[in-house]
Structure 1
């Protein structure tokens, strides 16, 4: 086959071919449809990265109609979305555990001469450190033994911190027996004689059921120093920290309720009560319910059992519930098949006090000031 160059064609043929092409273009133009602009998806105030084309990289084409890697697609190849675009954002992360309560008041914290929030929390703020509600100070669980401290749930390995500065007087097994013995009910324990006291009496704190100990006897520690890691050694039903406060004597019989000594969170307070029968004798194991009128949350606690527990020298209480957000509450006691209630306001950073006297009901009068010859009462 022989190819003829354009220059070899007659001029009249060039003219004829041009007319034919113009006529064809005119007829075709009458059938052209210009697509309307595609609607843009609506965006909220938050604009994420622009949505990607619904065509894949392999489907991108050049203007020549041939696949071209990395080429930018012509706008005409986008298709309108079949449904409005939905943007899915990650779920918010769980709040840190420290969000369970506000920061603590600075220590020592005492707005009245009778309050003594001298100790920081032995479990860090980022761990929930409420005492076990059904086994508070004065509770009865093991073999009718009255609980001389509070139990703070903590996974094995949680750092245990010094609640105050002082000297380590015991670190290891045997704090209950007074000599090293791995069968000691406290398990691995640390005992601190503090640099400060209350009304001339020495203060001690005890940390029991540890998994490991990080201090030695004779070592001086500061508030917040790591004493060891929480565990489940000794006589336990699960991992937790057993925490005690002792006043005046280094003795199992000189404990005080830690909830009156651990500094509360800012804006929260403590409720203390003296619950008695009509004749004025303290009721042991009496259930007391406290309900927040704001949130509806309810706290339950039992009055101290009989034995080696000691009320505060001033309040002479047999019930304490700490870590209550300030506000109005209702106290409910069922006594001899009759319900008695009291509305009370919890003050921030303070101990709010009530007394119950059987059929005579509630009062909110503060205890009388102790005289010079006053001595703490041991509940029989």
Structure 2
């Protein structure tokens, strides 16, 4: 082996890497991003679950119990409710994760040793369900939530009622999210290399000679992959229902409409990446840079409520975050897209912005 020639190749690769700014950014960016995400943003100790409390008793004892629940930090009231029915509607629409019902005869139930409080939980997320169960261990009136079965000092337990996934099966929560993860990975990657591939194969010269406008070319690139995305949705949905018995409580049409919204959002994001990347390798690098935060911050792998506030704001920019709320709301809670309109609006707005940026950045030129 000639060490001089070997050193020449090493220098050549280092100079090429220095000219490739995207690769250079990835060398530093990926370790920093993973360190920040895993060390700061991801927190399995859930606190601040969105909650609503229906205190129908309105007594000093019930108010003290509410204050004790809030002091644990497990729940944080974000809405007001007067009846259990209102709490159920909020759970179904995804506005809250936990609802607390204190009946009008709370004091009598507490004295008689009967069930005094109900905690209604959106059990579609098993981690949220496990966190809410901590409330059942709280004392009522200074006594344990699990008192002895006899004796005048016995206190009634706080009963936790789980909806939408009473069996606590992980597949019920994971499979709907997998639809979004697969669509994010494939759609962004497919369109991320679309324009770059045209340049590398020499097809861009032919496209330049055609009367196609930038908008027509971009939309034409998106539509075929949208059909592929629907096929992938059907495959995952069918296998999830067959192998894992994942229910679809809502409209199947709403499931596909939500999938279309995510598909279009990811395709336009991929097109924007494609207008920036110079090679297919760069496009794949940039796709990975988008895919990793989407997986970790959207609420698919780790609870959204456990993330710091700043990270939650960042997560709201990711299409997968809104899709997970839509697909789990429709499939598991039986909600309609109309009831989940904020997330629908977020995906539509993201698609419009990304498509506008992609069209404005694209030039029918070889340079």
Q: TM class, shorter-chain normalised?
A: under 0.3
- Normalised to the residue count of structure 2, the TM-score between the two structures is 0.20
- Normalised to the residue count of structure 1, the TM-score between the two structures is 0.19
| Greater helix content | 2
| Greater strand content | 1
Larger radius of gyration: 1
